[in-house]
Amino acid sequence: MKRLGVLTSGGDAPGMNAAIRAVVRKCIYHDVEIYGIKNGYQGLIEGNIEKMDVGSVGDIIQRGGTMLYSARCEEFKTEAGQLKGIEQLKKFGIEGLIVIGGDGSFQGAQKLTEKGYPCIGVPGTIDNDIPGTDFTIGFDTALNTIIEAIDKIRDTATSHERTYIIEVMGRNAGDLALWAGLADGAESILIPEKQDDFNEVITRLKRGHERGKKHSIIILAEGVGSGFEYGDRIHEATNLETRVTVLGHIQRGGSPTANDRVLASRLGAKAVDLLLEGKAGRMVGIQKNKLVDHDIIEMLALSHSIDEDMYQLSKELSI
């Protein structure tokens, strides 16, 4: 292959820029031309495509967001949209495409793969919900953003002896909530993968309060439901002074952590290697700190699961 393309799609994630940089530099290192597609699949359909060079990706490794911009594109979910995309790729002479994104973006890559167009998926989402990789690009940064925010909330929670419900992102996955809860010693962690026992949450809160605990932190994954509704239920059941914080899109921004930059660099470069080896229809990932690749269609058929040992540990440590 002599000319490749790269796009970012879906919700942005810190570290996407580091992945783009790795793709571009790795291509140039191998004397392969690389084209950036702006605004995800929307830009692909519209032919918003530009050649990139070494300088295009200078000074971006430390930046959050994505310099190629991103979009959620309804039209690309249709066959007509997918065919328009392939037509544009052919028009620009692009022989293989690297898609950096989450679940929805991988579905787009899967469609292109099924139509015989060579594609590689690079997992970039704060949700950490893609099977076949232990970590996705952006998860570590979002997690650290959450921890920083909870540490601050803890200060005011203690001063006012309040119970806080903190709603975090993750779509249908509970990884951000679970890891944040464990890292911050939350009283309870509520995730969509597990049915919570409301009575147990209440017992735990009351026990802490009776022991003289000055504050309580409950982390609720957005996939479970509304933090505000949960806060009302907690207040009604305990009469404790309760506040709710929805962290929202702050979790998606900011400079990527060193871990995310390294992960993104490794995964982006690996995606180029695969296409140059003649492989396609794959996703790259990291498992036990080793780079791996899997059939993208097979992986999308699997569902994401949480680490059961970590969940159990979080229960044991928050007695």
Contact status, residue 139 vs residue 254, Cβ threshold 8 Å: no
- DSSP one-letter code for 46: H
Distance in angstroms (rounded) separating the CA atoms of residues 174 and 62? 27
Which of 127, 140, 175, 293 is the catalytic position? 127
For the CB of residue 293, give the shortest distance to ligand F6P in the complex, in Å: 22
Distance in angstroms (rounded) separating the CA atoms of residues 137 and 68? 16
Distance in angstroms (rounded) separating the CA atoms of residues 249 and 133? 24
Between 14 and 96, CB nearer to ligand F6P: 14
Distance in angstroms (rounded) separating the CA atoms of residues 106 and 236? 43
For the CB of residue 141, give the shortest distance to ligand F6P in the complex, in Å: 12
Between 53 and 74, CB nearer to ligand F6P: 74
Between 175 and 187, CB nearer to ligand F6P: 175
Give the alpha-carbon dihedral of 162, 126, 64, 134, to 10 degrees.
120
State the number of CA atoms in the 13 A half-sphere of 42 facing the CB: 11
Contact status, residue 81 vs residue 73, Cβ threshold 8 Å: yes
For the CB of residue 118, give the shortest distance to ligand F6P in the complex, in Å: 26
List residues near ligand F6P by CB under 6 A. Answer: 11, 102, 125-127, 169-171, 222, 252
Between 43 and 118, CB nearer to ligand F6P: 43
For the CB of residue 17, give the shortest distance to ligand F6P in the complex, in Å: 17
In terms of Cα–Cα distance, which of 127, 238, 135, 123 is closest to 174?
127
Between 33 and 103, CB nearer to ligand F6P: 103
User: What's the maximum distance between 2 C-alpha atoms anywhere in the chain?
Assistant: 70
Residues 6+ apart with CB under 8 A from 129: 102, 103, 136, 170, 171, 172, 173, 175, 304
For the CB of residue 173, give the shortest distance to ligand F6P in the complex, in Å: 8
> For this structure, is 307 an active site residue?
no
Between 247 and 272, CB nearer to ligand F6P: 247
For the CB of residue 150, give the shortest distance to ligand F6P in the complex, in Å: 17
State the number of CA atoms in the 13 A half-sphere of 67 facing the CB: 20
Distance in angstroms (rounded) separating the CA atoms of residues 226 and 15? 28
Kindly report the backbone phi and psi dihedral angles of residue 4, in degrees, each rounded to the nearest multiple of 5, phi listed first.
-120, 165
Active-site positions?
127
